[in-house]
Amino acid sequence: MLQSINPVNDELIQSYEEYPQEQVYEIIESSHKAYLKYSLSSYEERAAKMKKVSVILREGKEEFAKLMTLEMGKTISQSRAEVEKCAWVCDYYADNAKDFLKDEIVETDASKSYVTYNPIGLVLAVMPWNFPFWQVFRFAAPNLMAGNGGILKHASNVSGCALAIENIFNEAGFEKDLFRTILVSSKNMKSVIENERIKAVTLTGSTPAGKSIASTAGNVLKKTVLELGGSDPYIILRDADIEQSVKACVTARLINAGQSCIAGKRFIVEKEIAEEFTQRFLEELSSKKMGDPFDESNDLGPQAKSELREELHQQVEKSVALGAKILLGGIIPEGRGAFYPPTLLVNVKKGMPAFDEELFGPVAPVIIAEDEEDAINIANDTVFGLGAAVFSKDVAHAEFIAKNRIKAGSCFVNTFVKSDPRLPFGGINESGYGRELSPFGIKEFVNIKTIFIK
C-alpha cells in the first residue's frame, strides 16, 4: 500500500494499492505498442500535442499547485511557479525539438553521409517528491518530442501528482498509453528496469538510489541518466556585495524548504568579511516565516515527511556534538507536522555532517576560509559536484573561478543556482552523470545513427 501523508498535520490524504507485477507488465506492453505508432509521427504532430500540454498546465495551475502543496508541503506560491515552469519546458521543446534533432550532414568519401537521431523506445523515469511536477516534465517533454514513450515511477508520497500528470498527457491527445504512471514501491523496481521493453532509465534522487538503479540497468546494458544529491558550495569573496550575497544565499537555502538538490548547502566566506556576512545572514534568515504552506505570507512550509525531518535534525545534532554552534533554529517545534525551522550553524568543519553530507532542509552551515584559495579548496572538498556559486564585485575574476576552478556541473556568479530549459543540467562525481534540458538533454535518449550512402 502506498500512502500520501499531509506533512502539515500528518494526516492520511489517500492510500493507493500497489500495482501487481502482471499489471505493470501489461502497462509497459501497451505503452510499447503506443510508442511504435507514435515514433513515426512528425515533429509538427508531436509539437501540437505538447503545446496542448502547456495550455492544460496553465489553465489548471491552481488545481495542480494545490495538489503539490497538499502532498509534499511546498508553499502554494512556489507550487504555482513550478506549474508555470513545466509549461515553459513543454513550449521550449515543442518549439525547438525539430531543429535540435535535424539530420547533420558530414562530408566524407560517400556520395552522402549524415547523422540522424531516432527514438529508442520506452524511457523509465524514477522521480522524487521534492518537485513533483517539474522533475517529471523536464524528462517527459524532451523524450516525447524525440518520439519516445514514458513510464513514470514517482515517489509514493506524491502518487496523486503522478496520476494527474498521466491524465494531462492523455487529455492533450497523445497516443493512449504512450505515457503511463506505475504505482510501484522502490523495492519492486528491479524487474521493471529489466523488462525488455524498457530501453533506458532516468533517475533523480539520492546517491544511494542512483547507484542501485545504475547497477541494475548496467547489468542489462541500458543507458541511464542520474541527477543525484549535492552539497553545493557558495563562495563569498572578500569584495562581494554582502547585501546581494546574503539575499541570494538565503533564497538558495530556503527555496522548497531547503529540499532541493541544487540548493546552496555550504556557505564559504573569506574570514575578512565573515563576521559581517554571518550577522546579516542571521538577520535575513530570522525574518523568514515558517507555517501553513497555503498561507501566502509564509516563506516555507514543512519538510515533506516526518522521517526526513528527523534525519535532518540528527545531522544537526551530530554536527553540534562535533563542535558546530547553532545561532538560529535547530529545535524541532512542538505540535503536528514535519516542520523544521530555518537554522544557522557556524564553526562548521570537515568531518561534520554539516560539511560532508547533503543537508536536505533549511539548515545553513557557514564555513570560514582563510583566503580565496582556501575557499576554492573547501568548495571542491566534497564527493558531490552538482551546482556552485561565486560572489564578487569583480565579475571577470568570479567568472574565471566559476569556469576554471570549481568542480561542478554548473556554477553561477552573483546569484543562486537554478535550472533553465535552455541550459544543460546535471552533475559530476556522486551527483550523477548525463544531462537534462537544452539540446544536450533531448539527445541523451536517442539513437545517434550514422547513414552512409556510396
C-alpha cell read off for 376 = 576554492
What is the CA angle 374-379-380, rounded to 5?
A: 100
CA 19 – CA 5 distance, rounded (Å):
19
Q: Return the bridge partners of 366, or none.
A: 267
Say if CB 329 and CB 344 are below 8 A apart: yes
The conformation of residue 370, written as its DSSP 8-state character, comes to S
CA 145 – CA 48 distance, rounded (Å):
10
Q: Beta strands 232-236 and 223-227: pairing type?
A: unpaired
CA 275 – CA 241 distance, rounded (Å):
14
Taking 3-state DSSP, the helix, strand and coil percentages for the chain, each rounded to the nearest 5, stand at 45, 20, 35
Position 411: which residue type?
C
The residues carrying an active-site annotation are: 227, 261
CA 319 – CA 347 distance, rounded (Å):
10
CA 80 – CA 325 distance, rounded (Å):
36
Residue 235's contacts (CB-CB under 8 Å, 6 or more residues apart) are 268, 369, 375, 376, 379, 388, 389, 390, 391, 401, 406
414's torsion region: left (phi>0), alpha (psi -120 to 50) or beta?
left
Write the DSSP assignment of 375-393 as a string of letters.
HHHHHH-SS--SEEEEE-S
